Amino acid sequence: MDNILIVDDFSFNVKMLMRILKQRGYNVRNALSGELALQSVREMAPDVILLNINIPDIDGYHVCEILKADENLKDIPIIFISECYETIDKDKVFTVGGVDYITMPFNDREVFTRIETQLKLRALQLEFKKSHDEMKKFNEELIKVNTDLENKVLERTQQLEEITEELKEFNIILEEEIAERTKTEEALKESERQFRYSLEEAPLPVMLYTEDGKIKKLNRTWTDITGYTIKDIPTTSELAKISDVFFEDLERTTVNRLFNLEKRQNDGEYSIRTRDGNFRIWDFYSAYIGKLQDGHKLFMRVAIDITERKHMEELQKNVDEERKRLNEIKEYDRIIIEFFSNISHELRTPINVIFSALQVHELRLKDCEFPNAYADIFKYTKIMKQNCYRLLRLVNNLIDITKIDSGYLDINEINSDIISLVEDITTSVADYIENKGLSLIFDTEVEEKIIACDPEKIERIILNLLSNAVKFTPCGGNIMVNIEDGIENICIRVKDTGRGIPADKLNSIFERFIQVDKSLARDHEGSGLGLSIVKYLVELHDGTISVKSKEGYGTEFIIYIPCKLVGGEVSNDITYISVKSGSCIEKTNIEFSDIYN
């Protein structure tokens, strides 16, 4: 399980990030200052660091520079956190060693995607480093073996020279000559034994063969990797069946070229099929050794297994492709968000023109006389206005979704009486709901509760939930709005006795574009955006929203908002949600526009 360190003294940021990250299964810990962060990292290095630029005692940039200067900590990915009101210095972020940055308010998917991307990149880097270290160690061992072989050859040459000198000096004494010859033969046998042992135990695959294609020796490493012994492949023609490098040997072009060269030759990189059907990639080298006693020329072929290196190169290529694809996806998302933002604002202009035309038309209809005095002369204008309100609701939702995706939807919290606020909102739509044949009940455990909230956003939340309750509750049903007082949270419940939500839809009810009833005979419309926006507005207040429902018995939405205060006076200005307020009537018409009369 990956470990993530959050360096931030702002509890709101920490709570939000911990909620996001713990949902994904990460181990998360927090440091409130730069010094504590450095101490925590040195005690136990995390996999990713989320670092706020503005932290006490040491700013985030300097903390990043200190970590990057430490040889043991410099590879830890650092993602900066920027407040929504400040402009982040992107050049400085990447200059001091940061790999990415996120801004408030946080988007769950964006935070998870950026962190997951850095964790994957770090895992690939660690895997690459491990392979590189193993290859380096392997090369060092090979150099050591080669050095030992060269030393042994020099030692043997020196011994031969000494023996030759001794033979010249004691040539006249036959017994000494025989004894010296015997000694020399024993030394040669020992040297040959050592050579054979070195060849057999060499860490690289080694093969000895003659110009007529007969295999003289396959060392243990060759057999261990491929699974073939000299009995399986006694000739190079048999080897050609498992690797293309031996095709030239069949034509004797490699043999003739090596015989005329005094140094080894690189044959190139080839794949070789092992006995179990797998493929390895080897880099082959060939050299002419000399003539055997029977007159045949002896050649050596050595291979370096580069399969892991090739895999690492392929992994790096895949990483580059994934990074390119990620950038393309980000650009595509930016274009989509910009498109919805532009088209949503453009739609408002013709809708306002239609509203103005309808108002003028209604004024003129009032001055007209009609034969049937009981006819509803405003029937069609009402239909047009209702659908204009529906369009406005859709446009407003699209604009809000665009702001959410781009991180620009904020709240303006003031200290307000949440009880009076919710009661006035509920009362403002009581006549509308009762005209639908429904009973609206408001109840509260406490008469006053001052908390920090955005009254406009609270109004949007309550109206949307009441609108849903009206949509799905048949005539004669009940709608209840209850407020429960808690020590840390205030609980708002909106409950109805409607048709309920199927169990298989409960987990996705707050997702975008989700509609419980998609039938053509439904008595309401909707874009499927309302509840997703409600959930986001509740979370902007550091709150939570959940749903309980049973088909045929009704649905209950439960909201918890923290009981906290902000600096400033308690606001009593809530007249904009009064029953007589034109603004509230228009908002009600917009929120309830999806309900057919």
CATH code, domain with 140: 3.30.450.20
163 contact partners, CB below 8 Å, separation of at least 6: 180, 183, 184, 187
Rounded Cα gap, residues 401 and 106, in angstroms: 14
Q: Are 489 and 445 in contact (CB under 8 A)?
A: no
Quickly list DSSP for 287-350: EEEEE-TTS-EEEEEEEEE-HHHHHHHHHHHHHHHHHHHHHHHHHHHHHHHHHHHHHHHHHHHH
One digit per residue, the tens of pLDDT, for the chain of length 597 reads: 688 999 988 888 888 888 888 888 888 999 888 888 888 888 898 989 988 888 878 888 888 988 888 888 888 899 988 876 677 788 888 888 888 888 888 788 888 888 888 888 888 887 888 888 888 888 888 888 888 888 888 888 888 888 877 767 766 777 777 778 788 788 777 777 787 777 788 888 888 888 787 888 888 888 888 888 888 888 877 777 787 777 666 555 555 565 555 667 887 888 888 888 888 888 888 888 888 888 888 888 888 888 888 889 889 999 999 999 988 887 877 777 677 667 766 777 787 778 788 778 878 777 776 666 556 667 777 777 767 777 777 777 777 777 777 676 788 999 999 999 999 999 988 988 898 899 999 999 999 999 999 998 999 899 889 988 998 899 999 999 999 998 899 999 999 999 999 988 888 888 876 665 544 334 544 555 788 889 989 999 999 999 999 998 999 999 999 999 987 555 554 433 443 345 566 666 676 666 655
- Which residue, 277, 304, 302, is CA-closest to 218? 302
Residue finishing a domain among 382, 405, 428:
405
**Cα-flanking dihedrals φ and ψ of residue 249, to 5°?**
-65, -35
- The answer to the question of residue 128 being in a domain is no
29 contact partners, CB below 8 Å, separation of at least 6: 3, 4, 5, 6, 40, 46
362 contact partners, CB below 8 Å, separation of at least 6: 378, 381
In this structure, the answer to whether residues 400 and 424 fall within a common structural domain is: no
- The answer to the question of residue 596 being in a domain is no
Encoded amino acid at 181, one letter: R
In this structure, the answer to whether residues 429 and 498 fall within a common structural domain is: yes
In this structure, the answer to whether residues 587 and 454 fall within a common structural domain is: yes
In this structure, the answer to whether residues 567 and 424 fall within a common structural domain is: yes
The CATH number assigned to the domain holding 84 equals 3.40.50.2300
pLDDT value for 249: 62
In this structure, the answer to whether residues 496 and 468 fall within a common structural domain is: yes
Task: Show the domain range for 433.
Answer: 410-591
In this structure, the answer to whether residues 330 and 248 fall within a common structural domain is: no
DSSP at 535: H
C-alpha gyration radius of the chain: 41
In this structure, the answer to whether residues 191 and 296 fall within a common structural domain is: yes
In this structure, the answer to whether residues 32 and 19 fall within a common structural domain is: yes
- The answer to the question of residue 466 being in a domain is yes
Q: How is residue 478 written in tokens?
A: 């009940």
In this structure, the answer to whether residues 428 and 546 fall within a common structural domain is: yes
Quickly list DSSP for 101-169: EEESSPPHHHHHHHHHHHHHHHHHHHHHHHHHHHHHHHHHHHHHHHHHHHHHHHHHHHHHHHHHHHHHH
In this structure, the answer to whether residues 424 and 401 fall within a common structural domain is: no
Q: How is residue 191 written in tokens?
A: 């040297």
In this structure, the answer to whether residues 303 and 318 fall within a common structural domain is: no
- The answer to the question of residue 118 being in a domain is no
pTM of the predicted model as reported, rounded to 2 decimal places:
0.44
**Cα-flanking dihedrals φ and ψ of residue 259, to 5°?**
-65, -30
Q: Is the dihedral of CA 46, 49, 55, 58 positive or negative?
A: positive
Structural domains of the chain, count:
4
Chain-centroid distance, C-alpha 113: 3
- The answer to the question of residue 125 being in a domain is no
